Amino acid sequence: MDYEPVIGLEVHAEMLTQSKIFCGCSAKFGAPPNENTCPLCLGLPGVLPVLNRRVVEFAIKAGLATHCTIAPVSRWARKNYFYPDLPKGYQISQYELPICVGGHIDIAVDGATKAVRLTRIHIEEDTGKNIHDQHGDASLVDYNRSGVPLLEIVSEPDIRSSAEAGAYLRKLRAILQYLEVCDGNMEEGSFRCDANVSVRPRGTTTLGTKAEVKNMNSFRSVERALEYEIARQIDLLNSGERVAQETRLWDADREVTRSMRSKESAHDYRYFPEPDLLPLEVPEQWVTEMRGALPELPDARRERFMRDYALPVYDAEVLTARKDIADYFEAAVRAHPNAKAISNWVMGDVLRAIHDRKLDTALVIRDWPVAPEHLAALVRLIDNDTISGKIA
C-alpha cells in the first residue's frame, strides 16, 4: 500500500519584548536563575496581571505578515494543570477566541510552491523551566522564563513531507525574524516546534490516527523525527497493527521517537475565561497602522534581489532566508556593486565559515568578524586583477 503523510505543526515563538507579558520583569534570556522574577511571575497570591501592549502589537504584526484576520475582540483563558514550572497552577492563554485566525504561509519545495494554511495564532505566557540531572537527584526550577510572552502558531494538516515541514519552519522563522518579533533561536528554545503526524492510504481523504511528536530542537531534528515517525506508522499499518494516539518524544541520540504518554491519560485543561483580564479589543485603526508599518518580508525581498541585483532565484532564496544574511549581502553590495560575485562569496565561504564556527543560529552574523565592507574590498581586489580568487 502507498501511504501519504499528513502533518500539522504547532510552533511556540518567544517574543523579543523587553519585559514579560503581565509584569515589568526583564524577558531577556541568560540571566542567573530566578533573577528576573517578581510576585506576579512567581504566581504568588494577591497579584493581578497587566497586559504588555507591545505583545499585542507583535501578535498583530505576525498575523498580518501571514495573511491572518485580526479578531476585533479576543479573549484570555486559563489553561489549568499542575507542574512545578507553573507556580500558579494555570497558564494564561487564548482558547476559543484567538487574536489571529486563518492565514497561510507560502513554501517552495523542489520548485513547486504551495500555501500551508494556518488555523490560528494566539498569545500565551511561557512557563518556567525545570532543570534535571545537574544536582544529583534534585530537580531545580528557574522562573526567569515564567511570563515571557509567546506566540503559538498552529498550522492546518497541510504538510505532506519532512521537506515541506522544514520549508514551512524556515519560512515562518524568517518572517518572525524580519518582523523582529522572535530571534528564532531553536537551541535556546525561543522557537520550538511540536508535530502532529499521521499517515493514510494515498488518494483517501479521512485522517489516520495521529501521534504528537515533541522535543525537537533543530530544523534537522524535526526533519529526522518526522521521517522516523512516518516510517514507523507505515510499518505498523503494513503489519496489520494500529497506530496509537499518543505523545512521543524525539530521542536525538538514538534517532528514534518513543512513547511519552497515551492520550487516554492526557490532561483535561479545564479552560475557562480569565477573570483577571478584560477581553482584548483591537481597534481597526490600530490594525491599519500596523499594516502600514510592516517591513519588507522574505518573499518580497527575494523578488527584489532577483530584480535589482539580477540574481538567480536560487541565490535570492538562500540570501533572503535569513534577515541578517540578506542585510550583510546588501551592505557589501553597497560598498562594491558586483552583486553576483558577492552573492557567490556569501553563499559559499561566508556561510560555510559561519556554519563551521557553529554560529549558524539566528542573528549571529553580527558576531562574524569579517565586516561587509571587508568582503566588498576583497571582491574589489579580485575584480581589478590585484589578486586571484584563490588568493582571496
Please, which residue, 21 or 332, has the CB nearer to Zn ion? 21
Please, which residue, 41 or 56, has the CB nearer to Zn ion? 41
Dist. CA 206–CA 149, nearest whole Å: 36
DSSP per position, 160-185: -SHHHHHHHHHHHHHHHHHTTS----
Please, which residue, 85 or 317, has the CB nearer to Zn ion? 85
At its nearest, how many Å lie between Zn ion and the CB of residue 229? 38
Please, which residue, 22 or 329, has the CB nearer to Zn ion? 22
CB 363 within 8 A of CB 324: yes
The x, y and z cell numbers of residue 311, run together, are 540574481
At its nearest, how many Å lie between Zn ion and the CB of residue 59? 20
At its nearest, how many Å lie between Zn ion and the CB of residue 32? 15
Buried b / exposed e across 110-120, counting CB within 10 Å, b at 16+? Answer: eeeebebebbb
Please, which residue, 48 or 138, has the CB nearer to Zn ion? 48
At its nearest, how many Å lie between Zn ion and the CB of residue 39? 8
At its nearest, how many Å lie between Zn ion and the CB of residue 41? 3
Dist. CA 136–CA 131, nearest whole Å: 11
Give, as ranges, the residues between 176 and 215 that touch Zn ion (CB under 5 A): none
At its nearest, how many Å lie between Zn ion and the CB of residue 38? 3
Please, which residue, 40 or 165, has the CB nearer to Zn ion? 40
Counting Cα atoms < 13 Å in the Cβ hemisphere of 245 gives 8
The x, y and z cell numbers of residue 24, run together, are 515589568
Number of residues that bind Zn ion (CB under 5 A): 5
**Where do the DSSP E strands lie in 202-282?**
211-216, 246-251, 256-262, 272-273, 280-281
Terminal CA-to-CA distance of the chain, rounded, Å?
55
Please, which residue, 40 or 77, has the CB nearer to Zn ion? 40
Tell me how crowded residue 283 is: count the other CB atoms within 10 A of its CB: 9
- φ, ψ of residue 206 to 5 degrees: the values are -75, 150
Binding mask 15-54 for Zn ion (x = CB under 5 A): --------x-x------------x-xx-------------
Please, which residue, 27 or 365, has the CB nearer to Zn ion? 27
Please, which residue, 93 or 177, has the CB nearer to Zn ion? 93
Please, which residue, 23 or 342, has the CB nearer to Zn ion? 23
Dist. CA 138–CA 151, nearest whole Å: 31
With residues binned 3-state (H G I as helix, E B as strand, rest as coil), the percentages for the chain, rounded to 5, are: 35, 25, 40
Give, as ranges, the residues between 239 and 258 that touch Zn ion (CB under 5 A): none
SS3 assignment for 321-384: CCHHHHHHHHHHHHHCCCHHHHHHHHHHHHHHHHHHCCCCCCCCHHHCCCCHHHHHHHHHHHHC
CB 142 within 8 A of CB 128: yes
At its nearest, how many Å lie between Zn ion and the CB of residue 143? 8
At its nearest, how many Å lie between Zn ion and the CB of residue 109? 42
24 secondary structure, DSSP code: S
- φ, ψ of residue 226 to 5 degrees: the values are -65, -45
Dist. CA 154–CA 121, nearest whole Å: 6
Please, which residue, 38 or 335, has the CB nearer to Zn ion? 38
| 100 near Zn ion, judged by CB under 5 A | no
CB-based burial of residue 301 (10 Å sphere; 0-12 exposed, 13-18 middle, 19+ buried)? buried
At its nearest, how many Å lie between Zn ion and the CB of residue 29? 15
Binding mask 153-182 for Zn ion (x = CB under 5 A): ------------------------------
At its nearest, how many Å lie between Zn ion and the CB of residue 20? 5
151 secondary structure, DSSP code: E
At its nearest, how many Å lie between Zn ion and the CB of residue 169? 30
Residues that bind Zn ion (CB under 5 A): 23, 25, 38, 40-41
